[in-house]
Amino acid sequence: MLSLKDKQNQKIKWRKWNKIIHRDLGYLCVGLTMLYAISGIAVNHIADWNPNYRLERLTSSIDPEPLRTLPPQQLAPAILAAIGESRPLVDSFRPQPDKMQLFVKENTIIVNLKTGAVVQEKSMPRKGLHQMNFLHLNHAKKLWTWFADLYALALFCLALTGMFVLRGKNGITGRGAWLTGAGVFMPLFFLWLYV
C-alpha cells in the first residue's frame, strides 16, 4: 500500500515528465509548425493567387523576315538570340504550322513565325514559399511522408500534454477547460454551418 507521500511523489513525477515532453516536443516542432502555418495561409488562397510561381507574360515582336530563309534547326537559336534569351534551349515544339514554342528554364516562348509576335510565359518559383508548399502538400512523398506523420503525432502529443502543464484555476479544470471547449466547438460550428 502506497503512503500519501509516495502517491504525491508519483503525481509530481508524472507532471514532471508531462512538462518535459511538452517542452522538448514544442522546441522540436517550432520550425515545422511555422513552415506549415506560412504555407497553409499561402495555399488556402490558391483561388486568388499562385502560391508556388510568379507568372509573367511578356509580349514583344521580332522581325520574321530573316527566319524564313533559315533551316529548321537554326530557327530556335535565332529566335532566342533575337529576344535576348541566353539560357540554353531545352526543346521546341510546333503547335501550329506558323507557330513555334521554345522551352528554356523558367520560360516558354511562343513565336508566330508569320507575324513575328512573341509571347514569353515566365514562371519563377517563389523563393522559400515554393519549397514550403512542396513539403506542406507532401509533393516529396517517399521518406517525407513518414517524417510528416511523425510531426503530426508530435503535434497530437503536444496538444495532449499541453492540457496538463498547469494546475489550479488556469489548468484544465478551470480556465483551460473553457478554452479547450471553445477550441473543440469552433470546427464543430463550421461543420454545422457548411455541411
**Min. distance of Cβ 142 from another protein in angstroms?**
5
5 or 142: whose CB is closer to another protein? 142
The answer to whether 77 touches 126, Cβ cutoff 8 Å, is no
Kindly state whether residue 37 participates in binding another protein, applying the rule CB under 8 A: no
- Number of separate helices (H) and strands (E) present in the chain: 6, 5
Residue 144 interacting with another protein (CB under 8 A) = yes
| Contacts of range 45-51, beta carbons closer than 8 Å, 24 or more positions apart | 51/126, 51/129, 51/133
Asked whether position 29 contacts another protein by CB under 8 A, the answer is no
Of 58-66, 136-144, 162-170, 173-181, the segment contacting another protein by CB under 8 A is 136-144
Only segment of 3-11, 13-21, 73-81, 104-112 that touches another protein (CB under 8 A): 104-112
Sign, CA torsion 73/79/85/91: negative
User: In whole angstroms, how close is the CB of 167 to another protein at the nearest point?
Assistant: 29
112 binds another protein (CB under 8 A): no
Please tell me whether residue 105 binds another protein under the rule CB under 8 A: yes
Q: Which residues pair with 119 in a beta bridge?
A: 59, 110
User: What cell does 138 get?
Assistant: 507532401
Does 57 engage in binding with another protein (CB under 8 A)?
A: yes
Q: Tell whether the torsion through CA atoms of 154, 160, 162 and 165 is positive or negative.
A: negative
Name the phi and psi angles at 170, rounded to 5: -95, 0
Task: In angstroms, give the least distance from the CB of 50 to another protein.
Answer: 6
Q: What are phi and psi of 102, to 5 degrees?
A: -115, 140
Query: What is the nearest approach in angstroms of another protein to the Cβ of residue 173?
Result: 35
Footprint of another protein (CB under 8 A): 46, 50, 52-53, 55, 57, 90-97, 101, 103-106, 108, 121, 123, 125, 134, 137-144, 147
